[in-house]
Amino acid sequence: MFACKDATEHMTDEREGALSGWVRVWYRLHLTICPHCRACRRQLDETVALTREIPPGDVPEKVVDTALAAFRDRRPKT
């Protein structure tokens, strides 16, 4: 029998398309009948969506300036 704990351990596998065989069958069956695991999966989906919205921080000007200086001095291969 596929328990809730087993289902929670496979939620990323499902998102990654990495479930196969009987695990996939049991997982899907469990999610169909278990509202709590469906809620957990929705929480995980929302978490990933919010994580993707985290804005990048500033890049130190020194990094950009040094890299750009090297880029300007670059001699392309002929």
Partner 1 sequence: MSLLAPTSREPRIRYAGDVPDPDDALLVSRLRAGDEATFRDLVRRMHRGLVQVARSYVESPAAAEEVVQETWLAVVAQIDDFEGRSSLRTWIGTILCNRARTRGVRDKRSVPFSSLAPDDVDPVEPERFDARGFWSLPPARWDDGPENLTLRKEAREAIERELGTLPEAQRTVVTLRDLEGWSSEEVCNVLALSETNQRVLLHRGRQRLRAALERYHSGTGR
Q: Which two tokens stand for residue 77?
A: 């291969």
Q: How big is the chain by its Cα radius of gyration, in Å?
A: 23
Q: Taking the CB of residue 2, how many other CB atoms lie within 10 A of it?
A: 19
Cα–Cα distance between 34 and 26 in angstroms, integer?
12
Residue 44 lies near partner 1 (rule: CB under 8 A) = yes
Query: Among residue numbers 13 through 42, which ones bind partner 1 (CB under 8 A)?
Result: 13, 16, 18, 36-37, 39-40, 42
CB of residue 22 to partner 1, shortest distance in Å: 17
Kindly list the residues in this chain that would bind partner 1 in the complex (CB under 8 A). Answer: 3-6, 8-9, 11-13, 16, 18, 36-37, 39-40, 42-44, 46-54, 56-57, 59-60, 62-64, 66-68, 70-72, 74, 76-77
